[in-house]
């Protein structure tokens, strides 16, 4: 039977006095966003809000004492009870304790029916996960920490429905990647609220963390003279160049999301390209590693060895050197995080797949040894949290 949580009226009163201008407890009401000339530094800390003011989903799963160590599940895997049980057994036999589950997927579909009043959620829900409450209760039984993966700005479904919320070519058609994938526009607050409202529904269902992925502009913005037409919303009149506006839009979205989700007692994490930590800022796509990290509880850098070009960190073929790649990366990330006003938990994404597409001599078969090499590199830097990625959800023992 579904465990109904209760919203505490006092929470909305407290937030209206402390966390204005964002009325975080009123997730379905329009909220005026006041853009700041400087990026947010850090959202208020969760620990400062008494637990009695937080939403109670009825699902009681504690943050793992020895840190989150998890795997990724597509909605199709999460909807299959046999596969869920297989992966629960996998977690338990490997000292792992968490699942990252697609709740808004790479196409833009919301994967469970939350009975939401949000118009976009209602229209774009494809409830592959037929019984989200049963799934959460099963994870509660096993004390498996549930993380809702929400793809923020890669969204072909909404872009096709609402072209004005996307990026248009000079002929009026929607700009697309070569594979047909579309993005929605991070400058528009309407796109922010859509992602955040999915996060709120996930938190109400019992997820203990909301993880935003594709928190960026498409790579075509590495060239400002790209000829695209799009609305810059309230960022249009800011005295900034286009690069600064993109970075500000992404940073402000992250801070806004964390502030809005705070009354629900969830951690907020963001997936980010690992290379963003190795440059001043990935300005084309709007990702500034330091500014994003300053505004999240957890930063999950995607540091798969296969995703680095030849020569990075002095490695001729990084995929061949799983330990060395992660070791060199952490030498860059950890000092950067320690220099921030707010230091989030670092929980990198590690590679548990074989990147044969790199070609002979540039890849190796990944299995137990290669995964453990990456884990050991993290451990040697004092990092105890990580997530394993395999798109087919088939993981190494």
**CA 155: distance to chain centroid?**
14
Q: Is 314 left (phi over 0), alpha (psi -120 to 50) or beta?
A: left
pLDDT band for position 72 (cuts 50, 70, 90): very high
Q: What is the pLDDT of residues 243-296, one digit of tens each?
A: 999 999 999 999 999 999 999 999 999 999 999 999 987 879 999 999 999 999
User: How, if at all, do strands 298-302 and 267-273 pair?
Assistant: parallel
**Does residue 61 sit in helix, strand or coil?**
coil
Quickly count: other Cβ atoms within 10 Å of residue 283's Cβ: 19
With CA atoms as reference, report the closest residue to 348 among 298, 285, 278: 298
Spatial separation of the C-alpha atoms in residues 349 and 326, rounded to whole Å:
10
Specify the pLDDT at position 48: 57
Cβ atoms of residues 295 and 346 within 8 Å: no
Whether residue 355 lies inside any domain: the answer is no
Do 196 and 256 touch, CB atoms closer than 8 A? yes
**322 or 31: which leads in pLDDT:** 322
Q: Which residue, among 139, 147, 176, has the nearest Cα to 160 in the 3D structure?
A: 176
340 within domain boundaries: no
The reported pTM is 0.88
380 assigned to some structural domain: no
The DSSP annotation for 138-205 comes to HHHHHTPEEEEEEE-SB-HHHHHH-GGGS-B-TTSPBP--TT---B--TT-HHHHHHHHHHHHHHHHH
Checking DSSP bridges between strand 345-346 and strand 110-112, what pairing results, if any?
unpaired
- What pLDDT, on a 0 to 100 scale, did the predictor assign at position 22? 30
Is 374 part of any domain? no
Cα separation, 106 vs 220, whole angstroms:
18
Residue 73, classed as helix, strand or coil, is strand
pLDDT of 29 strictly over 50: no
* 347 within some domain: no
The dihedral over CA atoms of 322, 327, 329, 333, expressed in degrees to the nearest 10, equals: 140
The answer to whether position 371 is within a domain reads no
Task: Centre a 10 Å sphere on the Cβ of residue 369 and count the other Cβ atoms it contains.
Answer: 12
- For 165, the domain range is 9-24+37-302
In a domain, 323, yes or no: no
C-alpha span between 246 and 274 (Å, rounded):
19
Number of domains in the chain: 1
Length of the chain: 397
Label residues 345-361 b or e (16+ Cβ within 10 Å = b): bbbbbbbbbbbeebeee
**DSSP character at residue 287:** B
Q: Which residues are registered as beta bridge partners of 225?
A: none
Q: What one-character-per-residue DSSP string does 208-274 give?
A: SEEEEE--S--GGGGSS-S--B---GGGTTSSS-HHHHHHHHHHHHHHHHHHHHGGGT-EEEEEEEG
Under DSSP, the state recorded for 82 is H
pLDDT digits (tens, 9 = 90+) for 144-203: 999 999 999 999 999 999 999 999 999 999 999 999 999 999 999 999 999 999 999 999
pLDDT band, residue 83 (cuts 50/70/90): very high
In the structure, what pLDDT confidence band is assigned to residue 69 with cuts at 50, 70 and 90? Answer: very high
**pLDDT at residue 258, as a whole number:** 98
Spatial distance between the Cα atoms of 372 and 324, rounded to a whole number of angstroms: 12
Burial class (CB within 10 angstroms; exposed 0-12, middle 13-18, buried 19+) of 163: middle
pLDDT at 19 over 60: no
- Say if 218 falls within a structural domain: yes
Whether the bond between 92 and the residue before it is cis, its omega within 30 degrees of 0, is: no
Q: What is the pLDDT of residue 49?
A: 65
- 173 HSE (CA, 13 A, CB side): 5
């Amino acid at each position: 039977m579904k465990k109904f949580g209760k919203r505490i009226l006092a929470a909305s009163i407290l937030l209206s006095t402390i966390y204005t201008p964002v009325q975080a407890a009123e997730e379905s009401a329009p909220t005026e966003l006041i853009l700041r000339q400087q990026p947010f530094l850090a959202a208020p800390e969760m620990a400062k809000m008494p637990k009695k003011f937080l939403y109670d989903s009825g699902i009681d799963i504690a943050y793992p004492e020895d840190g989150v160590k998890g795997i990724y599940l597509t909605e199709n895997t999460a909807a299959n009870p046999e596969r869920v049980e297989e992966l629960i057994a996998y977690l338990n036999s490997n000292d792992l304790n968490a699942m990252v589950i697609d709740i808004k997927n790479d196409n833009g579909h919301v994967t469970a029916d939350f009975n939401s009043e949000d118009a976009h959620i209602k229209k774009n829900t494809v409830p592959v996960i037929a019984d989200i409450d049963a799934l959460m209760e099963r994870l509660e039984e096993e004390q498996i920490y549930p993380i809702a993966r929400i793809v923020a700005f890669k969204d072909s479904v909404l872009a096709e429905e609402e072209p004005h919320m996307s990026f248009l070519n000079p002929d009026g058609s929607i700009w697309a990647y070569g594979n047909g994938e579309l993005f929605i526009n991070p400058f528009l607050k309407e796109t922010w609220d859509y992602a955040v409202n999915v996060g709120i529904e996930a938190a109400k269902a019992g997820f203990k963390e909301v993880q935003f992925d594709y928190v960026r502009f498409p790579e075509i913005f590495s060239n400002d003279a790209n000829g695209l037409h799009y609305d810059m919303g309230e960022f249009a009149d800011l005295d900034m160049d286009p690069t600064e506006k993109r970075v500000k839009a992404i940073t402000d979205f992250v801070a806004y999301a964390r502030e809005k989700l705070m009354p629900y007692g969830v951690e907020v994490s963001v997936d980010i390209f690992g290379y963003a930590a190795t440059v001043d800022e990935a300005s084309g796509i709007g990702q500034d590693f330091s500014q994003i990290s300053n505004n999240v509880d957890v930063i999950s850098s995607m540091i798969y060895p296969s995703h680095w070009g030849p020569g990075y960190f002095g490695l001729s073929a990084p995929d061949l050197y799983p330990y060395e790649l992660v070791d060199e990366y952490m030498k860059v990330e950890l000092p950067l995080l320690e220099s921030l006003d707010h230091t989030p938990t670092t929980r990198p994404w590690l590679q548990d797949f074989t990147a044969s597409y790199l070609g002979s001599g540039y890849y190796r078969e990944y299995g137990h040894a290669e995964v453990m090499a990456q884990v050991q590199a993290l451990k040697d830097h004092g990092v105890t949290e990580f997530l394993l990625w395999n798109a087919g959800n088939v993981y190494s023992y």
